[in-house]
Amino acid sequence: MMLRGDDPSTLLRQTAKNALIRLDSVVPTPADGVVTLAYHRVGRHTSSAVDLPREVFARQMAHVATRTDLLTLDAAARLLTPPHDPRITPNRQVVLTFDDGTSDFIDEVLPVLVELQLPATLFVATSFIDNQRSFPENGTPLTWNALRECVATGLVDVGAHSHTHLLLDRADDMTIDLELDVCNARIEDELGVTPSHFAYPKAVHGSTYADLAVRERYRTASIAGTRPNVVGRTDLWRLHRSPIQATDGFDGFLLKVNGGMRLEDDLRRAANKIRYRGKRS
């Protein structure tokens, strides 16, 4: 698939993605388990690799709507929490999640979710909403009013994503507590709900202290991984998610929704170690 405004780096990314999609067909079939999809932006308002054209997103959601095994993150947490019900057969359950809290969520994503009646969790970094500060790559933040509208549909569960989108592997202990407590308090004050789920900013797992602080406050926490969360073998505070990208195409999306493309995550993690060096958020 060619993207609008293709430049050499986009073409390179697309070529690499096509190679990964072909490679995925020769790796062993992923285990059964809960596959959590991670979306960032929809509508191609930016050139970000995680900003999907609306029609591509709508086609993906139409596929998700045909599945009988779409779960809320709460339901997935119940399924993954021991003791496990032996009557439930392992399957490829799917969970929808969205990150950050940009305005395309209400403009582009919500109409599709409402039309198809699909539940999802939206992880928000609250300082961007409070201060109406742009997210990277010109991401316009949602407002608290817009978030109330999202919650009122009964389909959107708001989760925490720290207050300032801080990388929790390098922050000091006091800052970590503050980031989580302020984020929770702002969501509670504005939306009247206590967030049960957390997504680590940039999917980077935190320090030992951050890990404890997150376990104390939330029912689940998500990192990267691009693989299924297997019943009986999953740490609820290290849930794997599969990020959906514009270059995936429908083939790549189908592989991910069925738990594949793990190799892509292994490569990205190695690259991110260098990309995030010296960064704070």
Binding residues (CB under 5 A) for Zn ion: these are 99-100
Closer to Zn ion by Cβ: residue 122 or 255: 122
Q: Which is nearer to Zn ion, 30 or 240 (CB)?
A: 240
Beta-strand runs (E) in the chain: 35-39, 41-42, 51-52, 70-71, 94-100, 120-124, 156-160, 197-199, 220-222, 241-243
Owner of token pair 């407002």: 143
Residue among 162 and 247 whose Cβ is closer to Zn ion? 162
Distance between CA atoms of residues 259 and 115, nearest Å: 26
Nearest distance, CB of residue 165 and Zn ion, angstroms = 6
Instruction: State in angstroms the smallest separation of the CB of 201 from Zn ion.
Output: 5
The nearest distance, CB 271 to Zn ion, in angstroms, is 17
Q: Which is nearer to Zn ion, 99 or 265 (CB)?
A: 99
Residue whose CB is nearest to Zn ion in the complex, by number: 99
> Judged by CB, which is closer to Zn ion: 97, or 247?
97
Look at the block and give the residue holding tokens 């359950």: 93
Q: How far is the CB of 139 from Zn ion (least distance, A)?
A: 10
**What separation in angstroms does the CA of 209 have from each of 171, 173, 214, 238?**
10, 6, 9, 14
Return d(Cα 14, Cα 7) in angstroms, integer. Answer: 11
Closer to Zn ion at the Cβ: 99 or 108? 99
Q: Tell me which residue of 93, 22, 11 sits closest to 252, measured CA to CA.
A: 22
CB of 198 to Zn ion, least distance (A): 12
Cβ at position 199, least distance to Zn ion in Å: 7
Q: What's the closest the beta carbon of residue 276 comes to Zn ion, in angstroms? A: 12
Cβ atoms of 110 and 123 within 8 Å: the answer is no
Contacting residues for 99 by C-beta, under 8 A, at least 6 apart: 38, 39, 40, 122, 123, 161, 199
- Give the C-alpha separation, 95 to 39, whole Å: 11
